[in-house]
């Protein structure tokens, strides 16, 4: 009887800063992966032509637009290729094109090594890769897409929001955190984390605000019915929902709606409660301000 040989997974990694190179090497080798290096995108594409890789991570020494072009070329010969783009610039247009092309994640510096490691581990976990996120329409100020109702799609979508939003960091972090909470609520309570269901999401950037719209396929809710959430709770009632969640057998939590209200300037629900707008006001660009004046 022949012994079963388990082949090691392989990653093709571009050249980045010494710290990022060391972190990726340590992470991948600790999980038993084999690493091959590519000094530039031309070399990376030639390697991919020769053989498939389980994961491709671009280097910081290439531009985001060059990496998106590499992704398109790789997808033309390896449709199931899984790529993480590391970019040093925040470019909404490049993020949109990367998502259209099927990138796993688009990571924009400055890097949190812990977060980057988490994204890489997430990409390493899937034995079979399909996208789960599809852009339906996109302009520089309005992007509409659908996302599969699973945790991985939610995390990827939050990273795309962070990378593709050119607003100051404090406001970006606030809207990203609020978006994450409401997105998870929609997936959990509106779609019951059914991977056959999809959430409808839009990102709208005006001169003075960033708006995130999240519509789930569920029947919705009214604030009076969500006793298991700390929604509109005052200080005395802040923890009352915890006992309700225990009675209902729900996981710990319930602060998502309250947190979103604190982090955003406005949170607006439709009548059914299955369609929500998160609005964060930001300083208008100087050029836009001059135009209005």
Q: What HEC string does 10-53 produce?
A: EEEEECCCHHHHHHHHHHHHHCCCEEEEECCHHHHHHHHHHCCC
pLDDT for residue 145 is more than 70: yes
Residue 280 DSSP SS3? strand
pLDDT score for 123: 87
pLDDT for residue 252 is more than 60: no
| Summary mean pLDDT of the chain | 83
For 132-293, CATH gives 3.30.565.10
pLDDT score for 3: 42
pLDDT one-digit tens code per residue, 106-121: 988 777 778 888 888 8
Share of the chain above pLDDT 70, in %: 81
In this prediction, residue 60 has a pLDDT band, given cuts at 50, 70 and 90, of confident
pLDDT score for 214: 97
pLDDT for residue 275 is more than 70: yes
CATH 3.40.50.2300 in the chain is located at 1-131
pLDDT for residue 246 is more than 90: no
Higher pLDDT, 146 or 108: 146
Least confident of 46-55, 238-247, 264-273: 238-247
In this prediction, residue 291 has a pLDDT band, given cuts at 50, 70 and 90, of very low
Dihedral angle of Cα 49, 102, 19, 61, to the nearest 10 degrees: 60
pLDDT score for 197: 96
* pLDDT (average), residues 142-158: 94
C-beta of residue 84 within 8 angstroms of C-beta of residue 57: yes
* pLDDT (average), residues 40-65: 93
* pLDDT (average), residues 11-29: 91
Say how far apart CA 24 and CA 116 lie, in whole Å. Answer: 9
State both tokens at 204: 């709208």
For 1-131, CATH gives 3.40.50.2300
pLDDT score for 240: 56
pLDDT score for 289: 34
For 155-187, give the secondary structure using H, E and C.
Answer: HHHHHHHHHCCCCCHHHHHHHHHHHHHHHHHHH
Residues 6+ away with beta carbon under 8 Å from 159 = 105, 106, 107, 119
pLDDT score for 137: 96
CATH 3.30.565.10 in the chain is located at 132-293
In this prediction, residue 176 has a pLDDT band, given cuts at 50, 70 and 90, of very high
Say how far apart CA 85 and CA 119 lie, in whole Å. Answer: 11
pLDDT score for 226: 53
C-beta of residue 67 within 8 angstroms of C-beta of residue 91: no
Say how far apart CA 36 and CA 38 lie, in whole Å. Answer: 7
State both tokens at 59: 């280097």
pLDDT score for 258: 81
pLDDT one-digit tens code per residue, 70-109: 999 999 999 989 999 998 877 889 999 999 999 999 988 7
pTM: 0.81
């Amino acid at each position: 009887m022949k012994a079963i040989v388990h082949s090691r997974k392989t990653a093709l990694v571009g050249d980045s800063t010494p710290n990022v190179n060391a972190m990726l090497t340590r992470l991948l080798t600790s999980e038993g992966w084999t690493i091959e290096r590519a000094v530039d995108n031309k070399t990376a594409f030639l390697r991919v032509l020769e053989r498939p890789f389980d994961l491709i991570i671009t280097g910081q020494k290439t531009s985001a637009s060059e990496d998106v072009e590499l992704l398109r070329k790789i997808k033309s010969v390896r449709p199931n290729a899984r790529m993480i783009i590391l970019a040093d610039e925040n470019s909404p247009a490049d993020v949109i094109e990367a998502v259209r092309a099927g990138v796993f994640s688009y990571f924009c510096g400055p890097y949190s090594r812990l977060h980057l490691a988490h994204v890489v581990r997430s990409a390493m976990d899937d034995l079979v890769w399909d996208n789960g996120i599809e852009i339906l329409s996109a302009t520089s100020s309005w992007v509409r897409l659908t996302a599969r109702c699973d945790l991985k799609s939610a995390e990827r979508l939050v990273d795309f929001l962070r990378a593709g939003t050119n607003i100051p960091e404090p406001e970006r972090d606030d809207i990203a955190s609020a978006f994450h909470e409401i997105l998870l609520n929609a997936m959990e309570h509106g779609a019951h984390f059914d991977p056959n269901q999809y959430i409808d999401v839009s990102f709208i950037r005006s001169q003075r605000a960033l708006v995130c719209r999240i519509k789930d396929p569920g029947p919705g809710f009214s604030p009076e019915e969500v006793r298991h959430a700390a929604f509109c709770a005052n200080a005395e009632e802040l923890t009352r929902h915890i006992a309700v969640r225990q009675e209902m057998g729900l996981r710990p939590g319930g602060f998502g709606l309250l947190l979103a209200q604190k982090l955003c300037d406005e949170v607006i629900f439709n009548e059914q409660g299955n369609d929500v707008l998160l609005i964060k006001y930001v300083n208008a660009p100087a050029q836009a301000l001059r135009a209005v004046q």
